[in-house]
Amino acid sequence: MTAQSSQIVELTPENFAVEAIERSKQVPVVVDFWAEWCQPCRMLGPVLEKLAVEYGGKFVLAKANTERMSEIASGFGVRSIPAVFGIKDGQVVDSFVGALPESAIRAWLDGIMPTPAEILLSEASKLEKSDPEAAGAKYREALALAPTDPRGRIGLGRVALSLGRPEEARAVVEELERRGFLEPEAETLKAELTLHAGDAQAGDLGDLEAAHRAAPRDKEAQFKYAEALASAGRYDESLGLALDLVERDRRGAGEPARKLMLAVFQLLPPDSPLAIDYRRRLSLAL
């Protein structure tokens, strides 16, 4: 069983995160766990490949040979093959085991296809940088179709912030927080708002650096400089200054500095060495 089109990919332990998880944030990914010795797999595989081509990019078929991907198969809880999983937005949404008839597979595929609201959300996300106003319009359309889906509100919050309307974005976060939790995307938006607030109050970075150098023990000057550095994307320097404030004045200037560090962590990749290092150092300081 080999890849036959752009809609079919062969998974490896090295490309799994990109081809299965990250790609599923753009289009549904169907992961087929199979093996050469498995006769039902040989029956199911060609049917899935045929449908992947027929559906013309509406989903991606990702072939996972369990002989080479035993750890990942174990992580999915695969006990017998063929085992097929539908992944959307990085999460498994449905699965089946065994060689189903083509009609049943079609029905299963249709069940994991994006809804009209999800299509609008995807289109809006792609427009955010190039045309935020158009992105906002699509997010509002998506919300009208799926008012309980938080992705539309989060998207509107991002658009509002990019258009210079932070209060609208903050209202979105506050509304979502009333549920008692925030999605990772909403946490990121909250972090961006934290840095935006610091940027709005900070002033010229050069002046703040000069003020800090003139009075290196002045906690307020140090915090303002740390905020400005974070807003400028100079995270390493910002985290160093903020951590120093936490260590020097935990209950006073250290508290807003701690919150600043948490906001920066939220904006860095989870596996960022910088975030990992400063998380550890902050934990020790606390």
> Which domains are present in the chain?
8-112 (3.40.30.10), 116-182 (1.25.40.10), 200-285 (1.25.40)
Q: Are 225 and 237 in contact (CB under 8 A)?
A: no
pTM exceeding 0.75: no
Place 198 in a pLDDT band, splitting at 50, 70 and 90.
Answer: low
For residue 109 the two structure tokens come to 């595929």
CA distance 31 to 90: 12
Confidence check: pLDDT of 3 > 50: no
Average pLDDT over residues 126-136: 95
Predicted local confidence at residue 171, as pLDDT:
96
Predicted local confidence at residue 137, as pLDDT:
97
55: left (phi over 0), alpha (psi -120 to 50) or beta: alpha
Confidence check: pLDDT of 274 > 50: yes
60-69, 205-214, 224-233, 254-263: which has the highest mean pLDDT? Answer: 60-69
Average pLDDT over residues 186-214: 78
Selecting among 30, 41, 84, 239, the annotated active-site residue is 41
For residue 56 the two structure tokens come to 């013309």
Q: State what percent of residues in the chain have pLDDT above 70.
A: 96
Predicted local confidence at residue 267, as pLDDT:
86
| Residue carrying structure tokens 């992947």 | 52
Q: Which residue has the higher pLDDT, 85 or 212?
A: 85
CA distance 99 to 145: 35
Predicted local confidence at residue 201, as pLDDT:
52
Selecting among 3, 21, 38, 182, the annotated active-site residue is 38
DSSP β-ladder status, 29-34 and 8-10: unpaired
Query: Where would I find the beta strands (DSSP E) of 149-211?
Result: none
| Residue carrying structure tokens 């938080």 | 150
Predicted local confidence at residue 88, as pLDDT:
93
Query: Where would I find the beta strands (DSSP E) of the chain?
Result: 8-10, 29-34, 60-65, 83-88, 91-97
Strand order in the sheet with 83-88: 8-10, 60-65, 29-34, 83-88, 91-97
Confidence check: pLDDT of 199 > 70: no
41 is catalytic: yes
Encoded amino acid at 57, one letter:
G
Segment 5-63, tens digit of pLDDT: 679 999 999 999 999 999 998 899 999 999 999 999 999 999 999 999 999 999 999 99
Place 227 in a pLDDT band, splitting at 50, 70 and 90.
Answer: confident
What is the residue-wise DSSP string for 241-286?
HHHHHHHH-TTTTHHHHHHHHHHHHHHS-TT-HHHHHHHHHHHHH-
Q: Helices 235-248 and 273-285: crossing angle, nearest 10°?
A: 10
Predicted local confidence at residue 203, as pLDDT:
56
Predicted local confidence at residue 82, as pLDDT:
97
Predicted local confidence at residue 5, as pLDDT:
61
- The count of other CB atoms within 10 Å of the CB of residue 263 is 24
170 is catalytic: no
